[in-house]
Amino acid sequence: MVGGNTLGVDPGWWERLVEAGGCDSLDVVGIHPYTGFNRSWEEEGFSEEGAELDQLREAVAPCGDLPLWDTETGWWSDGVANFWAGGSDVARKLVWYGLEGVDEWTYFFSEGGFGEAGNSWSLLQFGQYVKPAGAAFAATAPVLAGYDGFTVVETGTPGVRAVRATGAGGALGGRGLLALWSEDLTTTVRLTPAGAPVAATARDLYGAERPLAVPAEGVEVPVTGAPVLLLLPPGAGVDVAPVEAFGDDVLEGRPVTATSTHEDANDADVVTSGTFAVREPWRSGRLADGVVDESPGVEITTDGPRTVDRVAVATAGIRCCTSGLRDYTVSVRTPDGAWQDVATQTGQFFDRVALFRFDPVEVTAVRVRVPMTTERDVPVLAANYTGIVGGLHPDFIPLATESDWIATISAVRAWEPAG
């Protein structure tokens, strides 16, 4: 008997089920852990320590060691951002489920043409084509099924995830596995062999393979939101490290001032929570006098002069019906009170997180601001108005000069040089 099948995880509901004697009617715990606004698994934060899946296990512990199944979830896949992100989302979630011990996942849905409001959810669009999500599921799930003993590998690079599997490898000849990806951040890491040089195979989420040599001195490899599975010879190991080590995040926990904040949005202090896994970001509103905020943004003060050489800015995912960052400027205030620009971003779209490197500078504050532009001769903020039509206004967001719920920042982080 698969019980519950709750929309979301809802640990409180499961606690009440246990209290009512529901354990006697369960063989399997079923959940439908959809992410809100079509977010990625990481942005939703389901697998963060102490989050809903940990709470669920605690709630149902009196029932004994019951299997946990995902009996219905998926992502709708219409629009430029959603269509291509679907493959990465599926492959990453399969790795997370290896870690979480979720043995079954029924995708909503494998093949079909259903979708409310003209959207579609399938891996295979009925009578038409295989979507990237479908190709990734077919190529990745059978490989991961050959492994067990999934463990998190520390990467030393914020926003970069790695997981090692120590199982026998099944049909893959006993090879080890290291899955490597980011929270939709384009960056580079260094791989080094744990012992002798390693002749690995890098397999992408669609099944294409290429040789990857990891020499004794290490090798730099690119990392994006699209996971790569490194297949390793039996007994071989590979470690992951930043190309350049990070010092302390000088903005974590610091107070934040926003030019405006929408009444239904999270407080601006969320951007210094020290993580990119922010479910409810800060969003701009209107100014106190009700006029449009034509330069929305946030400003974070440090705890005195601090030297930094990297800043990361994270926005909300744009895979549903809300906006995210596209163009913006990152500035720092020096101890003499002057502001200087250290990064200017234009055209951000597929990446949710951007990392900027610059010469070390002593700062007392960091600021992120979004400028204005025009769309069909209408002054608008230079944002991605969802990812459905390449960042332009979709039909459900009026093309108008507006700042309510437009500028969106999930995190701002700044690091001291290491050492």
pLDDT digits 0-9 by tens, 235-277: 899 999 999 999 999 999 999 999 999 999 999 999 999 999 9
Question: In which residue ranges of the chain is CATH 2.60.120.260 found?
Answer: 248-417
Give DSSP secondary structure letters for 281-325: -EE--B-TTS-B-SS-EEEEEEEEEEEEEEEEEE----SSSS-EE
Question: In which residue ranges of the chain is CATH 3.20.20.80 found?
Answer: 2-144
Burial 60-76 (b: 16+ CB within 10 A, else e): beebeeeebbbbbbbbb
Fold (CATH) for 151-244: Immunoglobulin-like (2.60.40)
- Taking the C-alpha atoms of residue 212 and residue 340, their distance in angstroms, rounded to an integer, is 41
Q: For residue 344, how many other CB atoms are within 10 A of its CB?
A: 12
- Taking the C-alpha atoms of residue 191 and residue 212, their distance in angstroms, rounded to an integer, is 10
* Average pLDDT over every residue of 74-102: 95
pLDDT band at 115 (very low <50, low <70, confident <90, very high): confident
Residue with tokens 């320590």: 49
Q: At residue 389, what is the residue type? A: V
Q: For residue 133, how many other CB atoms are within 10 A of its CB?
A: 27
Computed over every residue of the chain, the mean pLDDT equals 95
- Taking the C-alpha atoms of residue 250 and residue 361, their distance in angstroms, rounded to an integer, is 13
- Taking the C-alpha atoms of residue 63 and residue 57, their distance in angstroms, rounded to an integer, is 10
The first and second tokens of residue 359, run together, are 């010469």
pLDDT higher than 80, residue 173: no
Residue with tokens 């605690």: 58
pLDDT band at 326 (very low <50, low <70, confident <90, very high): very high
Contact 231, 201 (CB under 8 A): yes
* Average pLDDT over every residue of 83-91: 96
Which class does domain 2-144 fall in?
A: alpha beta
- Taking the C-alpha atoms of residue 217 and residue 99, their distance in angstroms, rounded to an integer, is 30
| pLDDT for position 55 | 96
If we measure between CA atoms, which residue out of 225, 144, 231, 134 comes closest to residue 182?
A: 225
Inter-CA distances, 250 with 225, 276, 308, 344, 352, Å = 26, 15, 8, 21, 21
* Average pLDDT over every residue of 160-182: 85
| pLDDT for position 317 | 96
The CATH number of the structural domain formed by 248-417 is 2.60.120.260
- Taking the C-alpha atoms of residue 7 and residue 197, their distance in angstroms, rounded to an integer, is 47
pLDDT higher than 80, residue 280: yes
According to DSSP, residue 50 is labeled: T
* Average pLDDT over every residue of 124-147: 94
- Taking the C-alpha atoms of residue 209 and residue 165, their distance in angstroms, rounded to an integer, is 18
pLDDT higher than 80, residue 169: no
Residue 8 pairs with which residues in a beta bridge? 32
Question: In which residue ranges of the chain is CATH 2.60.40 found?
Answer: 151-244
Per the rule left: phi > 0, alpha: psi between -120 and 50, beta: everything else, 390 is left
Q: At residue 50, what is the residue type? A: G
- Taking the C-alpha atoms of residue 187 and residue 222, their distance in angstroms, rounded to an integer, is 6
Inter-CA distances, 135 with 84, 89, 94, 297, 320, Å = 11, 12, 13, 39, 21
Total-model pTM: 0.96
